[in-house]
Structure 1
């Protein structure tokens, strides 16, 4: 049984940091010590920023993005193509697409994927909200940008079944060779997907 070497406030900080993705107990201790050693530069400003974020940040009731307003800035931006919705699993995926500046559309964050083994069904993620948005009209294309996992593809097929058959075009991201990728380093599934998704040269 390990003994506590710090006061309860520091132990609590370590425990909370350890809950962050990518941080285990040892990394959390290092991060906590770094914050404490840089108290005025990091710890105090971080605490203030997190307190403010806790007060101000909300989930967009339209698309599921996180922002300080509801609807979010993306949903209210008149320069966006309001006829296209990009469906993503998580907010992190939305942010990744925005960093790439590859499309100027609206989004819909599912908040997960279908996973019967984990007890996650259609009612547990944001599919109903997506179906409702499409049914309201004005949407010409839904781009399904979920991960190329079994659960992601199951979710994509389910969404297609729910909103397909009408005037709305449903597309998905191409899967295959990444820019700068070498064939010898790619797994078989990626190579197979690249062949299936080949385009004219």
Structure 2
């Protein structure tokens, strides 16, 4: 075989894939990256292009952490690196607490609150008033109201609000528990403490229409909270006043 043939073959083996691109293809390729740089923040562009991890374990941790609400990949990486700088016991403690959160948390059979027992501390507290039930969307609302120190009744957590856009109807909420409370014969008043949104108003109206013929009064927290606000974001003073100054609920609310 002629030496020149060997040389040409070795040159072919060393060729770069881009060598096979036409001038037009390369031009389009460069235009694409130029466009991407103009669209993205320069720092984000660099992150997008070169983001890689020295460890698959680290990459997996970043993937999992970034799946949490409000946490992007850069924040997830920062948190993962922070944990790596801590004593191993710190990460183990965090991991164990998360496992315990999933395995050991119970739902209170009376109000659907999170609890360590079958009945939560609020429902089992003899100092809380059985005749007063505050209807809320989720656990965060209970925490917000409890922080005001102005409420001495008990709760019923719906687990959400009626929202056709999200596929949530009455059947997905804990509305049967309201009827159970009524049939127990101890409740005298239900307080609607739902978010000041169309979905919150729709949910309150549905419950009122369903149970208004029972010998029970319905009230709603005073609208010191701006329309569209979620209950958890209201300041404690405003929320406390809205509970104390609650108004009778009727179909015109």
User: Which bracket does the TM-score occupy, shorter chain normalised?
Assistant: 0.7 to 0.9
Measure how far apart 1:53 and its partner are.
2.5
Moved more, 63-72 or 16-25: 16-25
Matching of residues 2-151 of structure 1 within 5 Å: 4-40=52-88, 42-151=90-199
Residues 58 and 70 in structure 1, CA contact (< 8 A), matched pair in contact too: yes
Q: Contact 1:57 / 1:66 at 8 angstroms: preserved in 2? A: yes
2:203 corresponds to 1:162: no
TM norm structure 2: 0.65
**Count of residue pairs brought into register by the alignment:** 182
Question: What's 1:152 paired with?
Answer: 200
| Structure 1: gaps spanning 5 or more residues | 179-193
Q: Is the 8 A contact 2:196 2:225 kept in 1?
A: no
Q: What SS is found at the alignment partner of 1:31?
A: helix
Q: Distance in 2 between matches of 1:128 and 1:54?
A: 26
- Cα deviation, residue 73, structure 1: 1.4
* 37 and 162 in structure 1: CA distance in 2 versus 1, 3 angstrom threshold: same
Report deviation, 1:2.
Answer: 5.7
Deviates more, 1:160-169 or 1:119-128: 160-169
- List structure 1 segments (4+ residues) > 4 angstroms apart after TM superposition: none
| Alpha carbons 1:142, 1:171 under 8 Å: kept | yes
> Structure 2 unaligned runs (5+)?
1-48, 227-241, 248-253
Secondary structure class of the residue paired with 1:9: helix
Say what the alpha-carbon RMSD is for the aligned residues: 2.4
**Alpha-carbon contact 2:111-2:156 (below 8 Å) kept:** yes
Structure with the greater alpha carbon radius of gyration: 2
SS of 2:100's equivalent in the other structure is helix
TM superposition shift of 1:157 = 0.4
Distance in 2, matches of 1:198 and 1:82, equals 18
**Matches of 2:137 and 2:68 in 1, distance apart?**
19
- TM-superposed CA distance for 1:58, in Å, is 1.0
**Per-residue deviation at 1:177?**
6.2
In 2, distance between residues paired with 1:41 and 1:97? 35
Q: Tell me, in whole angstroms, the C-alpha distance in 2 between the residues paired with 1:141 and 1:198.
A: 12
